[in-house]
């Protein structure tokens, strides 16, 4: 399956030659997505996608292109109604729906072949439907993406990385002002195009078409610094203030100057505040990358489940399943133990529970008896109960 997915390349060769380096076109990467009788078609229909776009908790957008007009592209945000779709013209519009893998859990199977990339880097499955001529204009993404053609055909054009980054003024979309394509392909059902970050590209529907986009999370450094800075800010007491017990008297000639000694004290204080050790930074990062997107956090169990109830239910044959919206990851500590994070909440675990941490991240569901080996371990049971109380795991 992976050889076909990557056009005959091994995972190692794909990562070495293409990942974050250069595009890759793969014909027939998903052969089952061909139209009947050659295949069964994609796992979502245009009507089902429109239904998702009508739901309040789903992030959806509608982009219309108006050739020869200013602005050429207009953007509307969902949720939408059936009447909204009924009023649309026959061509030149695109519906985009984010996080379809979390809204329709069966679609998580589309992400499964891409798990040779660590789970914490996989962001979501976005699905779009476009009528003839529909597209969102030439633009640049700052993350890796696999573009899988579902229904119909889409013409993709890409440009060079050393492009002019200027965007058109007055648009909510980041449409490039100048786009000089270097390559062009027409993709049909089951074809796939991989694009690394920073490659300008444009996709235009040829007739009605659907595209499935597997996007990867690439946190911006300023986003990381802002989150870490807020964490440090919360940890600093009000009594931690600038101090200068060795202050020298200010003279008339230098009262407006911030002296070198004062600057040195400020630099030392700021560096001390950011001098978190590796363990603290690791704990921050595993929490940071598992924070759910706004509106996509699993709902906590009500009432919360205590360890005794979870233990009894699992012994009685209950199933345990991971909430499709939940983000899970873990890190090993220098002492050999683990920190397991679920949706931004950290859970310290002993090294003996590493197989449980691996299983929870690897599998989406656990049939009756699958976790029986852990039910005599009070630490494991308390951990599972905490995840159930958070809503990261559902007990059926």
pLDDT at res. 304: 83
Separation of first and last alpha carbons in the chain: 32
**Residue extent(s) of CATH 3.40.366.30 domains in the chain:** 307-395
The CATH label, of 2.60.120.10, 3.40.50.450, 2.40.340.10, 3.40.366.30, for the domain at 307-395 is 3.40.366.30
Q: Rounded to 5 degrees, what angle do the CA atoms 218, 220, 221 make?
A: 125
**Residue extent(s) of CATH 2.60.120.650 domains in the chain:** 2-216
Query: Is 0.75 surpassed by the pTM of this model?
Result: yes
Q: Which residues of the chain have pLDDT under 50?
A: none
What is the Cα–Cα distance from 244 to 266, expressed in whole angstroms?
Answer: 10
Dump pLDDT digits (tens) for 308-342: 999 999 999 999 999 999 999 999 998 999 999 99
What is the Cα–Cα distance from 169 to 153, expressed in whole angstroms?
Answer: 30
Residues 6+ apart with CB under 8 A from 90: 131, 132
The CATH label, of 2.60.120.650, 2.40.110.10, 3.40.50.800, 3.40.50.150, for the domain at 2-216 is 2.60.120.650
pLDDT at res. 85: 97
């Amino acid at each position: 399956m992976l050889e076909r997915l990557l056009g005959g390349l091994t995972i190692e060769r794909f990562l070495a030659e293409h990942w974050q380096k250069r595009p890759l076109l793969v014909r027939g990467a998903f052969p089952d997505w061909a139209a009947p009788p050659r295949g069964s078609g994609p796992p979502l229909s245009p009507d089902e996608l429109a239904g998702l776009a009508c739901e309040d908790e789903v992030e959806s957008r509608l982009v219309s292109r108006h050739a020869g007009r200013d602005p050429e592209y207009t953007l509307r945000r969902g949720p939408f109604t059936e009447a909204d779709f009924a009023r649309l013209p026959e061509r030149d519009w695109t519906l985009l729906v984010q996080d379809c893998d979390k809204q329709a859990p069966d679609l998580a199977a589309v992400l499964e072949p891409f798990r040779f990339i660590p789970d914490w880097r996989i962001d979501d499955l976005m699905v779009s439907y476009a009528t003839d001529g529909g597209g969102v204009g030439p633009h640049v993404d700052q993350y890796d993406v696999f573009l899988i053609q579902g229904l119909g055909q889409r013409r993709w054009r890409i440009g060079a990385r050393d492009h002019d980054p200027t965007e058109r003024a007055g648009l909510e979309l980041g449409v490039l002002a100048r786009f000089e394509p270097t390559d062009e392909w027409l993709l049909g059902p089951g074809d796939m195009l991989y694009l690394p970050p920073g490659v300008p590209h444009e996709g235009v529907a040829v007739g009605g078409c659907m595209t499935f986009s597997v996007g990867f999370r690439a946190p911006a450094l300023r986003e990381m610094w802002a989150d870490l800075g807020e964490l440090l800010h919360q940890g600093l007491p009000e009594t931690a203030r600038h101090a200068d017990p060795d202050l020298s008297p200010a003279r008339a000639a230098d009262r407006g100057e911030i002296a070198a000694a004062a600057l040195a004290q400020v630099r030392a204080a700021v560096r001390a505040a950011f001098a978190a050790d590796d363990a603290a930074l690791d704990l921050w990062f595993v929490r940071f990358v598992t924070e759910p997107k706004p509106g996509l956090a699993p709902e906590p169990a009500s009432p919360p489940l205590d360890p005794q109830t979870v233990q009894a239910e699992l012994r009685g044959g209950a199933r345990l399943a991971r909430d499709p919206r939940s983000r899970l990851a873990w890190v090993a500590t220098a002492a050999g133990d683990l920190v397991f994070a679920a949706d931004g909440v950290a859970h310290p675990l002993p090294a003996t529970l590493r197989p449980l941490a691996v299983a929870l991240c690897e599998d989406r569901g656990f049939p009756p008896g699958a976790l029986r080996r852990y039910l005599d371990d009070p630490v494991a049971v308390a951990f599972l109960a905490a995840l159930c109380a958070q809503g990261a795991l559902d007990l059926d």
